[in-house]
């Protein structure tokens, strides 16, 4: 399971203006903001942007200045793979260290949508044990009970992070993960394709 919410895409105007700095071709810029406040990439800017995007990372530096912020809720096993992409990304997560005991454990806290019935039964046993430890910890504040929760927590436990990336990061992620075994990556790549001008600036190798 993966959920991507509250997506914001920022700084198109500055990125495209800067794209024209090397040849001082600002006068050819034709992008604008429409009456709804949406940023529209003009035909001239789109043509140059596509050309630069297809010319490799040295030429498409403007993509590093188009920023994306999104709230992602995903299991720890997916975050372990996402953490490969440290350069140019920033994430602020909900804290298992501080808040793991704050509310009851339920199945909704875990990505278990593809589990067999036997695996679900095993998960339910684990959830029940974690909940007993949580209640005991709330009563006693005994450190060993908290350690039990942290160290027993399955990798299917869902965590929400607010992530900031740029379009260049997303080029790398898309081509590295679009055919990945985990369905969560397919959902993530579909989200990438939904971003403004993704087919022009992100899926540059297709």
Per-residue pLDDT tens over the stretch 129-146? 999 999 999 999 999 999
Output phi, psi for 161, to 5 deg: -130, 140
Give yes or no for a contact between 15 and 62, defined as CB atoms under 8 angstroms apart. yes
Please enumerate in sequence order all residues whose Cβ is within 8 A of that of 167, keeping only pairs 6 or more positions apart, or say none. Answer: 63, 64, 66, 68, 195, 201, 202
- Supply the range of the domain harboring residue 53: 3-93+163-201
Query: Model-level pTM?
Result: 0.92
Residue 157, domain member (yes or no): no
The predicted structure's pLDDT at residue 98: 53
Confidence bin at 205 (pLDDT 50/70/90)? confident
The predicted structure's pLDDT at residue 160: 94
In a shared domain, residues 46 and 65: yes
Kindly report the CATH number assigned to the domain that includes residue 72.
Answer: 3.30.1360
In a shared domain, residues 65 and 146: no
Distance CA 66, CA 162 (A): 17
Whether 95 has a pLDDT exceeding 70, the answer reads no
In a shared domain, residues 51 and 117: no
In a shared domain, residues 8 and 86: yes
Whether 101 has a pLDDT exceeding 80, the answer reads yes
In a shared domain, residues 136 and 178: no
The predicted structure's pLDDT at residue 86: 77
């Amino acid at each position: 399971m993966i959920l991507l919410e509250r997506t914001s895409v920022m700084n198109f105007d500055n990125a495209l203006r800067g794209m024209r700095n090397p040849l001082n071709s600002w006068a050819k810029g034709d992008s604008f903001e429409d009456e709804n406040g949406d940023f529209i990439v003009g035909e001239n800017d789109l043509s140059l942007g596509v050309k630069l995007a297809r010319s490799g990372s040295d030429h498409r530096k403007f993509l590093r200045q188009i920023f994306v912020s999104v709230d992602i809720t995903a299991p720890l096993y997916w975050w372990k793979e996402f953490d490969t992409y440290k350069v140019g990304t920033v994430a602020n997560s909900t804290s298992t260290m501080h808040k793991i005991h704050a509310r009851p454990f339920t199945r909704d806290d875990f990505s278990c949508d593809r589990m067999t019935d036997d695996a679900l039964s095993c998960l339910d046993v684990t959830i029940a044990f974690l909940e007993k430890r949580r209640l005991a910890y709330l009563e006693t504040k005994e450190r060993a009970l908290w350690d039990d929760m942290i160290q027993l927590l399955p990798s299917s436990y869902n965590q929400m992070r607010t992530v900031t990336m740029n379009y260049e990061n997303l080029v790398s992620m898309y081509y590295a993960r679009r055919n990945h075994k985990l369905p969560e990556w397919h959902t993530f790549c579909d989200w990438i394709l939904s971003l403004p001008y993704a087919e022009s600036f992100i899926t540059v190798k297709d």
